[in-house]
Structure 1
Amino acid sequence: MTIRRIEAGPRMSQAVVHGNTVYLAGQVGTPGKSVAEQTTEVLASIDRLLALAGTDKSKLLTAQIWLDDMRDFAEMNGVWDAWVDKANTPARATGGAPLATSGHRVEIIVSAAI
């Protein structure tokens, strides 16, 4: 079975397709913006990468969401709820942890069927 890497770099690929599944790297927005703005950017990046892999958000399998501060949960969910395909919601987990780069407030990792 082949493996296709999308936007591969020296440290990681933004997406990897194996079989009928695509795995996305954690997507982040622009540091310093609000959680809602960063979430909007992240979801647009996810849409773009899923399209490059030949799929879309209606085929999401899992989502892992990391927030720098869990007090931002409702703000992030407001954007997520407007974006997610209500008929095809993924298995999802949300946790709080310091993110790798200062100023990033949300990071989202998804996998999807193709």
Structure 2
Amino acid sequence: MTRRLLPLVALLALAGCSANKPWIVDLGGTCDVGAKYDIKAPRFDELAQQLAHATGCFIETDLAQTGAVKPNPVKGYMTIRQAVKVAIKGTGLKVVREDKDFIQVAKKPA
């Protein structure tokens, strides 16, 4: 089965974010709600699924290109937007599009 662009989507609500955490970027959407994470996954698709299950933020990616990439562990209090960026830092993946309720991750060009 050929996998083309497969969106990885999950919807759930998180607890409210803390006003005393000024380092949290807030675009006013579901990708900007803070939560405490402690996720270590062997593949990006597994980590993205765990992050998406904890929020209403949409994560879209081409799993054929990004799914098997080994992400960094995500630990600490942050938004899902920050968690995705921590997970993909130095992996060859990048955020290519984002808004308040959406993050798209793709493989960096070679």
Q: TM-score, normalized by length of structure 1?
A: 0.33
More strand by share: 1
